[in-house]
Amino acid sequence: MEITIILPGFTPLDVLSLWFFLAVWVGYTAVADHSRWSRHSVSAAMDRFRRAWMTEMLRRELRMVDTQIVGNLLSAIGFFASATILVVGGLVAVLGAAEQAMNSLAELPFSVPTSRPAWEIKVLLLITIFIYAFFKFAWAFRLSNYCSVLIGAAPPLGPDGQPPKDAEHHARRAAAVISRSGQHFNRGLRAYFFALAALGWFVHPILFMLVTAWVVFVLYRREFRSRALLAIREEGGATPEDQARDP
């Protein structure tokens, strides 16, 4: 039986795997970014260092090192944004060579026959994912630019060599902006991982669901259980209360 009204050429298993993919992505984003568990992620740990960075920035008379760090961040974000545009262009070209791509895919073991409309919808899913990633990278790039302006607008040191009393508020604003940039950049990278999972749909819907589950496991390990997180917390002096609340 095929679902021909909304998704032509798709079986119920295809529809189930698509809903599974979307539910897992949205669910993981909600847990990793918006739940109480998010406070124990590597992203949250780096946000604390960003706040410390902006506080230290206020104590420097010359802030060229801070603008250089922001410039390095901009280079990384710009690279991914440019690469994403190239990927979108390549996927659009794949739509024009659907027959050749479908014939090549049919020779893979365990692949299921796919109609042209179903193939095009799968490619459009990938295009949508990478367009989403591009918007995340572009906004992260812009937020990093905003942060560089805030660094340039930071108040100078006083006669006693200390920042003025109201400078701490400025540091918090700059830290909030650069943290938002990091969050959007992280979501763009996360979209790349889920795009890899979507490739499994071209072979078999069951493989699509298995790779989706594997991607979430990898993301969870890197966000919440990685050695990098342990190193950051150790160097950042995680409190016993923070360690006791770890999921």
Show pLDDT as tens, one digit a residue, over the chain (247 residues).
Answer: 444 445 666 788 888 999 999 999 999 999 998 888 888 889 889 999 999 999 888 888 888 888 899 999 999 999 999 999 999 999 888 887 766 666 666 666 666 667 777 888 889 999 999 999 999 999 999 999 999 999 988 888 777 777 777 788 888 999 999 999 999 999 999 999 999 999 988 888 999 999 999 999 999 999 998 888 888 877 544 444 444 444 4
In whole angstroms, give the CA distance from residue 180 to residue 232: 19
State residue 22's pLDDT score.
95
Q: Say if 241 falls within a structural domain.
A: no
Domain of 186, in residue numbers: 62-210
Q: Say if 152 falls within a structural domain.
A: yes
- The answer to whether 229 and 241 have CB atoms below 8 angstroms apart is no
Number of domains forming the structure of the chain: 1
Q: Please tell me the pTM assigned to this model.
A: 0.84
Q: Say if 93 falls within a structural domain.
A: yes
Residue 174 identity (one-letter amino acid) = A
Q: Say if 104 falls within a structural domain.
A: yes
Among 39, 11, 57, 31, which residue's Cα sits nearest to residue 204? Answer: 11
Give residue 59's Cα distance to chain centre: 32
Q: Say if 226 falls within a structural domain.
A: no
CB hemisphere CA count around 10 (13 angstroms): 23
Q: Say if 7 falls within a structural domain.
A: no
In whole angstroms, give the CA distance from residue 104 to residue 108: 7
Residue 17 identity (one-letter amino acid) = S
Report CA-CA distances (Å) from 137 to 21, 34, 50, 76.
22, 20, 19, 10
Q: Which two tokens stand for residue 243?
A: 């360690």
Q: Say if 189 falls within a structural domain.
A: yes
Q: Say if 229 falls within a structural domain.
A: no
